């Protein structure tokens, strides 16, 4: 089971400001669902990543004060864009990695939204249902034969059997 | 010795499979064999030994899911079926992202099902240079047995998707060798969901083949149990101790034989944190990874790559140079995360999703990394060799040429900051371009070699049958055993070696059960 992870208030505010920077315009209204999805993905990742991400969000948030006199969470439009770009091209590898990591995680969460999958024509659920039914109908006999083969006796060393009683 | 005390409710939904919900306290269990890991190696060994009459317990860190649990929700499947949700990486420049299954059935639940025997040239090398005399002849019947069990076959032609047809067209146009992929499937119908748990039941992963067989012959499976260490008395393994995930319940299994089958990252770490050392100094070393990069091509025509079978073909023209090519469909979310574009540019690019073909390559690596155990947790370190980087770069050029020959209009590269290719000439100019590896997107699902087998205890961690040198009652049965990378998908080799290892245990049952 994954370790518990919840976005901090800071992380959530910063990510909300980044949705318009990273996601396509048509996904902006899905911002909260995208951020919730990122939380789920992070929860499945190693605890060290949770800590690193949370810390990174704080540094990203406060790092805007020097140049923009306000936290990153409050930046909008071009200013939010320019600040994020500075991180993408930062000299420090950790800054670049964080920017890239946010981009990856948010892009993934964005295209996990049903509306975005529909938009690119990705509709796997009905397809899976259709081909599963087809397989069971058309190939019923072969499927059954394999299921029987899986369980049929076929000892690796015929005639050798270790007789053990379970303790 | 305390009496066995199974603190579990008997009779869950699947007899003899116990999950986290079945535990209500600490447990002490007895068995002949405790197997750690339920993937290609562990499940195979469990089935063979159970059928021979051994009392077998399998412990699996991941959960127990069945075919009906596999849905179209890719990220939910990734969270459930992948170790750490897939967020695992070997440290190096570039870091190499790797994926391992973490569920009953192990990585066979999330792999593509490619089923290839170890190539002859590899077995010849193991025989000639690594002391594994006669291994090709010895493995032959085990390969046959595995192929029968997991139903290795070519794909039905009518389920091959357009993306794979384009790959073949491109290879044919170039005059390159391209072959039908062999996969463990019974009438795969092309849901193209191999990497997220086969929802049709067609893929004969360990979950639907060796695991049911093991259960049928009396093995018990404990899912959601992380094995913390192998217990020992001196150099003799005496069982394992684990923790039921999400609880504080401990589970102790006392066994005559312990089999580590948790993959090339976790097996060496389990042995190290249990206090086993190899006189060879090779435990955790010799990590091979088959580094893998991909390109994404955009065609004029609709491709709809998610309809059709996974990796129907392999381009084998460059196998002697250590490169295999294949087409792999990725869900939009996974593809989107690999693009550098963002905002409106990402939206524009993804609007072509239905016309995209993703193709990747496997590189037989020439260098090795290692697995270190830090605070009880394994961490892989792997530095991509210059020669392998050059081979991957050449592979990207060749694969791009193939895709242009099939009609691609634009190809996106796995190299950060690199411009897209718009013509075969662009592809050929790739070799002259300076593309620092630190910006490469390299991934793998093939980790091998960290407990290599061989007859010489000064050079190998285990015997040719997987018995750990300088230890008693301890075996390895996974890709850790490979002395070198094998240049093809490793599942069938793992299963064949595990079957051979099981045969060795049966042949020497008196010794192992003493």
Averaged over successive runs of 10 residues, the pLDDT of chain B (514 residues) comes to: 43 80 95 98 98 97 96 93 94 96 98 97 97 97 98 96 98 98 97 96 98 98 98 97 96 98 98 96 98 98 96 97 96 95 97 98 96 96 97 97 98 94 96 92 97 97 98 98 97 98 97 90
Domain ranges, ordered by start, for chain B: 1-81+103-151+198-279+451-514, 82-102+154-197+287-444
B118: which 2 tokens?
């170890």
**pLDDT, mean over chain A:** 93
Contact A124 B351 (CB under 8 A): no
Contacts of A111 in chain B (CB under 8 A): 331-333, 335-336, 350
**CA B502/CA B380 separation, integer angstroms:** 29
| Residue A118: how many other CB atoms lie within 10 Å | 10
Give the one of B74, B204, B216 whose C-beta lies nearest to A151's C-beta.
B216
CA distances to A124, B56, B151 from A137, in Å? 20, 36, 19
**CA B482/CA B348 separation, integer angstroms:** 45
If contacts are CB pairs under 8 Å, which of residues 77-106 in chain A contact chain B? 103-105
| The pLDDT value given to residue A166 | 56
- The third-level CATH classification (topology) of the domain covering B1-81+103-151+198-279+451-514 is FAD/NAD(P)-binding domain (3.50.50)
Distance in Å, alpha carbon of A66 to nearest chain B alpha carbon? 25
Angle between helices A47-68 and A9-22 in degrees, nearest 10 = 70
- Residue B231 dihedral angles phi and psi, to the nearest 5°: -80, 155
Select from B169, B156, B116, B4 the least CA-distant residue to B362. Answer: B116
- In this structure, are A135 and A85 located in the same domain? no
User: Is the distance from CB of A69 to CB of A62 less than 8 angstroms?
Assistant: no
Q: How far is CA B190 from the centre of its chain?
A: 21
Contact B506 A146 (CB under 8 A): no
**Alpha-helical regions (H) of B370-475:** 386-405, 424-429
Give the one of B51, B246, B304 whose C-beta lies nearest to A1's C-beta.
B246
Give the one of B186, B192, B336 whose C-beta lies nearest to A111's C-beta.
B336
Give residue A163's pLDDT band: very low, low, confident or very high (50, 70, 90): confident
Contact B331 A122 (CB under 8 A): yes
Contact B502 A156 (CB under 8 A): yes
Higher pLDDT, A47 or B318: B318
The residue with tokens 């020669």 is B387
- In this structure, are A17 and A63 located in the same domain? yes
- Name the class of domain B82-102+154-197+287-444: alpha beta
- In this structure, are A93 and A110 located in the same domain? yes
**CA A11/CA A36 separation, integer angstroms:** 11
Contacts of A43 in chain B (CB under 8 A): 79, 85
- Is A117 touching B (CB cutoff 8 A)? yes
User: Is the distance from CB of A75 to CB of A65 less than 8 angstroms?
Assistant: no
Strands B442-444, B313-315: pairing is: unpaired
Contact A121 B212 (CB under 8 A): no
Contacts of A2 in chain B (CB under 8 A): 79, 85
| The pLDDT value given to residue B11 | 40
Q: Which residues contact A63 (CB under 8 A, 6 or more apart)?
A: A72, A87
If contacts are CB pairs under 8 Å, which of residues 44-63 in chain A contact chain B? 44-46, 49
Closest-CA residue of A relative to B206 is A150
Closest-CA residue of B relative to A139 is B187
| The pLDDT value given to residue B85 | 93
Asked whether residue A166 is assigned to any structural domain, the reply reads no
- In this structure, are A100 and A145 located in the same domain? no
Closest-CA residue of B relative to A121 is B354
- In this structure, are A103 and A128 located in the same domain? no
| The pLDDT value given to residue B7 | 45
Over residues A43-61, the mean pLDDT reads 94
User: Is the distance from CB of B96 to CB of B464 less than 8 angstroms?
Assistant: no
- In this structure, are A15 and A96 located in the same domain? yes
Q: Name the pTM for this structure.
A: 0.95
Contact A109 B333 (CB under 8 A): yes
- In this structure, are A146 and A103 located in the same domain? no
- In this structure, are A34 and A68 located in the same domain? yes
- In this structure, are A109 and A135 located in the same domain? no
Number of compact structural domains in chain A: 2
- Is A139 touching B (CB cutoff 8 A)? yes
Over residues A118-131, the mean pLDDT reads 96
Give residue A3's pLDDT band: very low, low, confident or very high (50, 70, 90): low
Asked if B352 is an active-site residue, the reply is no
* Domain around A134: 123-154
The residue with tokens 């079978």 is B309
- In this structure, are A44 and A25 located in the same domain? yes
Select from B331, B375, B378 the least CA-distant residue to B356. Answer: B331
Select from B328, B466, B357 the least CA-distant residue to B41. Answer: B466
Q: Taking CB atoms and an 8 Å cut-off, how many pairs form between chains A and B?
A: 196
The alpha carbon torsion through B376, B222, B87, B313 (nearest 10 deg) reads: 130
- In this structure, are A23 and A89 located in the same domain? yes
Give the one of A20, A122, A165 whose C-beta lies nearest to B306's C-beta.
A122
- Is A4 touching B (CB cutoff 8 A)? no
User: Is the distance from CB of B471 to CB of B510 less than 8 angstroms?
Assistant: no
- In this structure, are A110 and A146 located in the same domain? no
| Residue B388: how many other CB atoms lie within 10 Å | 21
Strands B178-180, B183-184: pairing is: unpaired
B440: which 2 tokens?
């490469």
User: Is the distance from CB of B444 to CB of B98 less than 8 angstroms?
Assistant: yes
**CA B462/CA B407 separation, integer angstroms:** 50
């Amino acid at each position: 089971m994954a370790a518990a992870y919840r976005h901090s208030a800071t992380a959530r505010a910063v990510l909300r400001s980044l949705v318009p920077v990273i996601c396509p315009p048509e996904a902006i209204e899905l911002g909260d669902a995208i951020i919730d999805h990122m939380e789920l993905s992070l929860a499945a990742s190693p605890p060290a990543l949770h800590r690193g991400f949370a810390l990174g969000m704080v540094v990203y948030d406060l790092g805007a004060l020097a140049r923009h006199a306000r936290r990153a969470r409050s930046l909008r439009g071009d200013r939010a864009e320019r600040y994020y770009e500075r991180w993408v091209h930062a000299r420090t590898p950790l800054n670049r990695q964080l920017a890239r990591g946010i981009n990856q995680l948010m892009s993934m969460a964005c295209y996990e939204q049903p509306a975005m999958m529909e938009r690119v024509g990705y509709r796997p659920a009905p397809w899976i249902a259709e081909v599963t039914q087809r397989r069971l109908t058309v190939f019923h006999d072969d499927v059954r034969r394999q299921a029987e083969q899986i369980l049929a006796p076929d000892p690796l060393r015929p005639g050798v059997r270790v007789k053990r009683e379970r303790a | 010795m305390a009496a066995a005390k199974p603190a579990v409710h008997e009779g869950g939904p699947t007899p003899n499979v116990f999950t986290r919900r079945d535990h209500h306290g600490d447990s002490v269990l007895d068995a002949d064999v405790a197997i750690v890991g339920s993937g290609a190696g562990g499940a195979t060994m469990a089935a063979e030994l159970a059928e021979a009459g051994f009392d077998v317990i399998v412990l699996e860190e991941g959960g127990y899911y069945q075919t009906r649990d596999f849905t179209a929700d890719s990220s939910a499947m990734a969270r459930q079926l992948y170790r750490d949700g897939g967020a695992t990486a070997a440290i190096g420049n570039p870091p190499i992202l790797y994926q391992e299954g973490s569920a009953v059935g192990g990585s066979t639940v999330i792999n593509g099902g490619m089923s290839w025997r170890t190539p002859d040239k590899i077995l010849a090398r193991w025989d000639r240079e690594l002391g594994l005399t006669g291994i090709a002849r010895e493995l032959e019947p085990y390969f046959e047995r595995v192929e029968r069990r997991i139903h290795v076959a070519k794909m039905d032609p009518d389920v091959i998707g357009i993306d794979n047809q384009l790959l073949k067209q491109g290879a044919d146009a170039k005059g390159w060798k391209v072959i039908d992929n062999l996969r463990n499937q019974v009438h795969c119908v092309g849901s193209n969901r191999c990497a997220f748990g086969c929802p049709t039941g067609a893929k004969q992963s360990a979950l639907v083949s060796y695991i049911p067989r093991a259960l049928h012959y009396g093995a018990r499976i404990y899912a959601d149990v992380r094995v913390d260490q192998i217990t020992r008395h001196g150099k003799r393994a005496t069982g394992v101790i684990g923790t039921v995930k999400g609880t504080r319940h401990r589970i102790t299994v006392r066994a005559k034989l312990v089999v580590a089958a948790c993959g090339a990252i976790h097996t060496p770490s389990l042995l190290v944190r249990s206090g086993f050392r190899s006189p060879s100094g090779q435990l955790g070393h010799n990590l091979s990874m088959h580094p893998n990069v991909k390109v994404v091509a955009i065609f004029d025509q609709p491709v709809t790559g998610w309809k059709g079978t996974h990796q129907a073909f392999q381009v084998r023209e460059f196998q002697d140079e250590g490169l295999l090519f294949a087409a792999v469909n990725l869900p939009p979310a996974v593809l989107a995360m690999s693009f550098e574009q963002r905002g409106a540019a990402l939206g524009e690019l993804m609007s072509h999703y239905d016309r995209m073909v993703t193709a990747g390559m496997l590189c037989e690596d020439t260098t090795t990394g290692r697995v270190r155990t830090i605070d009880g947790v394994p961490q892989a370190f792997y530095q991509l060799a210059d020669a392998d980087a050059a081979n991957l770069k050449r592979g990207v050029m060749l694969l791009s040429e193939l895709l242009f020959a099939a009609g691609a209009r634009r190809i996106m590269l796995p190299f950060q900051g690199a411009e897209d290719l718009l013509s075969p000439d662009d592809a050929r100019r790739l070799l002259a371009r300076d593309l620092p590896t630190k910006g490469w997107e390299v991934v793998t699902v093939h980790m091998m070699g960290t407990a290599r087998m061989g007859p010489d205890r000064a050079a190998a961690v285990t015997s040719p049958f997987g018995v750990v040198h300088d230890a008693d009652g301890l075996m390895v049965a996974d890709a850790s055993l490979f002395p070198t990378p094998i240049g093809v998908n490793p599942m069938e080799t793992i299963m064949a070696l595990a079957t051979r290892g099981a045969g060795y245990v049966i042949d020497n049952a008196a010794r192992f059960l003493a």
